[in-house]
Structure 1
Amino acid sequence: MSATKVLRSLLNELRRASPNGCIKDSLAAKYILAQYKKFETTDQQLCKARNEAIFLGNTYNTYLASLRNYKELYMEYHGRGERTVKETADLVGFKLPTDPK
C-alpha cells in the first residue's frame, strides 16, 4: 500500500471516529500529517524510516478500524436487560411460528 493510500485511510478512520465528522482542528490529524511530511522521500532516496512510517500507519489504521467495528458490534449486541422472544429470535435470525386464526 502506498503512503498516500495509508494517509487517506487513516484520515478517513479519524473522520469516522470523530463525534462531529470533522477533523480540521484535530490534533491527531495534524500530528499524522506532520509525521508524513517528516518522512517524505523522493524517488532517488531509499529510506528505511519511510517503510517504518507506512507500517506504523497501517498498524494505526487497523487499530482504528477494529475499534470502530468493536463499538458497532457492542452497541448492537450489548445486553439491554430483558428482551422479548421476538427480539431474541430476530437477533439470531429466526422467525417465530405464526398462529393461524
Structure 2
Amino acid sequence: MNANTRPLRLLLSEIRKSVKREKIKDFQPVRFILSQYRRFQLSEAQYCLAANEMSALAHSYTVYLNSQRKYRSLVKSYHGTGERSVQNMADLVGFKLPTDKK
C-alpha cells in the first residue's frame, strides 16, 4: 500500500464507522476529501509545496473521528440511566464492595 493512501483509507474507515450508511461514496464529505486528494496528488509528488500535507491532514481527521466515536461510547455507558444503586455503581467502575459478616 502506498504511504499516501494509508491515511486516506484509515480516514474513510473512520467515516464509515461514524456514519450509519450503506455506501459512503455519495456522502458529501467523502467526495470532498477524495477531490482534495486528487487535487493535491501532483503537488505533493512533484512540487513538494507542503510535503505530506494531505497525509497529515487525513491523520488528524482520523484521530478526531476516532476520539469522537470513543467519547460517544463512554457517554452512552456512563450517562443517562438515572439514579443507580451503590452496587451497580461499584460494578460499573470495577470495584468490589465488602460483604457484611454478621
Interval containing the TM-score (normalised by the shorter chain): 0.7 to 0.9
Which residues of 2 match residues 59-70 of structure 1 at below 5 A? 59-70=60-71
Unaligned runs of 5+ in 2: none
Identity of aligned residues (%): 46
What does residue 47 of structure 1 align with? 48
Query: Residues 28, 44 of structure 1: CA spacing in aligned structure 2 closer, same or farther, 3 A cutoff?
Result: closer
Q: Which letter does structure 2 place at the counterpart of 1:73?
A: L
What does residue 56 of structure 1 align with? 57
Asked if the contact 2:90/2:96 (under 8 Å) is kept, the reply is yes
The CA deviation at 1:98 is 5.5
- 1:41-73 CA-to-partner distances (Å, cap 9, x unmatched) read 399724224522211111111111111111111
Unaligned runs of 5+ in 1: none
How many Å separate the matches in 2 of 1:44 and 1:52?
11
- Give TM-score scaled by structure 2 length: 0.80
Q: Which letter does structure 1 place at the counterpart of 2:16?
A: R
The count of residues paired between Structure 1 and Structure 2 equals 100
SS at match of 1:95: coil
Higher relative contact order (CA 8 A, sep 6+): 2
What does residue 95 of structure 2 align with? 94
Asked if the contact 1:14/1:64 (under 8 Å) is kept, the reply is yes
- Give TM-score scaled by structure 1 length: 0.81
What does residue 2 of structure 1 align with? 3
The CA deviation at 1:84 is 1.8
